[in-house]
Amino acid sequence: MKTKNILLTATQVKLPMVAAMMILAAASLHAQTLLLDFTQTGGPYTTGWNPVYANFLADTPVASINNINGLGYNFSINHVAVYDNGNATESLTRSGFYTFGDNTLDHTFTLSGLAAGETVSLYACAAWDGNGRGGYVVFGDSGVSGIKAQTIGDPGTTPTVANLTLIGTATVDISGILQGTLNGAGGVGDASEGQVGGFEFLITSVPEPGTLALAGLGVAALVTFRRKN
């Protein structure tokens, strides 16, 4: 009888732990973060971020990066050039893209390789430590006027999403492609230059049936455990 009680106690301890691990595993399998630092070809970029290169003070018809983090996501942006303020302590805002030709050229950006049903949130870092040249970015539910990219505080050498501006969130359709635009510092259609230091995309997937089943089993196990105790 004593042996049985010891075994039951061990089971009671392990069951909720296993169930919780199943739920956490199901929840954590479906989020990806893409960190893009906009910089001149061959120039410095933030540690842990992916450099997207363009020409220094000259038009780059398409600046792009493919297979980001080896996950099959691709990013491109049209008609940008690169500035560099030379401040080595500003890892993310030292260099960035600006709207070459301003509103006379197209500055559409594209994120592809997505799956239908995924949601994507875009955060942006302003240029030059968030001064007035930060461009307006249109993406997802930002509205047609877009949101001005700003830097909140000093991004430092290891920038976090807390230092960036949330631009908007979009849901991917069957095309697997999302688009947005970079615009002038005065807004969409404004003839002024607009700048941006980098983008952070947060991609959240729709759980697959097997993942949902895993989470469901975890919940059911917890419910059963609580009823028995």
Q: Over 80: is that where the pLDDT of 221 sits?
A: no
Q: What is the pLDDT of residue 154?
A: 76
Q: What is the pLDDT of residue 37?
A: 97
Q: What is the pLDDT of residue 29?
A: 47
Q: What is the pLDDT of residue 6?
A: 44
pLDDT digits (tens, 9 = 90+) for 1-34: 544 454 445 445 455 665 555 555 455 447 999 9
Q: What is the pLDDT of residue 127?
A: 72
Q: Over 80: is that where the pLDDT of 131 sits?
A: no
Higher-confidence residue of 215 and 146: namely 146
**Across the chain, what does the average pLDDT equal?**
84
Nearest CA among 199, 204, 179 for reference residue 125? 199
Q: Over 60: is that where the pLDDT of 199 sits?
A: yes
H or E segment and range at residue 2: helix 2-28
pLDDT digits (tens, 9 = 90+) for 158-172: 888 999 999 999 999
β-bridge mates for residue 150, sequence order: none
Higher-confidence residue of 53 and 217: namely 53
Rounded distance between C-alpha atoms, residue 212 and residue 225, angstroms: 20
Work out the end-to-end distance of the chain between its first and last CA atoms, rounded to an integer number of angstroms: 19
Q: What is the pLDDT of residue 88?
A: 84
The three-class DSSP label of residue 158 is coil
**Helices and strands of the chain, counted as H and E runs:** 2, 13
Q: What is the pLDDT of residue 215?
A: 52
Q: Are strands 31-40 and 198-204 parallel, antiparallel or unpaired?
A: antiparallel
How does residue 133 score in pLDDT terms, banded at 50, 70 and 90?
confident
**DSSP conformational letter for 207:** P
How far from the centroid of its chain's Cα atoms is residue 184's Cα?
A: 22
**CATH says 31-204 is which class?**
mainly beta
Q: Is the dihedral of CA 108, 72, 52, 28 positive or negative?
A: positive
Rounded distance between C-alpha atoms, residue 207 and residue 215, angstroms: 10
| The residue count for the chain | 229
Identify residue 224 by its one-letter amino acid code.
Answer: T
Q: Measure the CA angle with vertex 133, ends 186 and 84; round to 5°.
A: 150
Q: What is the pLDDT of residue 149?
A: 94
Ramachandran quadrant class, 39 (left: phi over 0; alpha: psi -120 to 50; beta: rest): beta
Give 58-64 contacts, CB < 8 A, sequence gap 24+: 58/100, 59/100, 59/101, 59/105, 60/100, 63/38, 63/97
For the ranges 19-23, 25-29, 108-112, 223-227, which has the lowest average pLDDT?
25-29
Q: Over 60: is that where the pLDDT of 114 sits?
A: yes
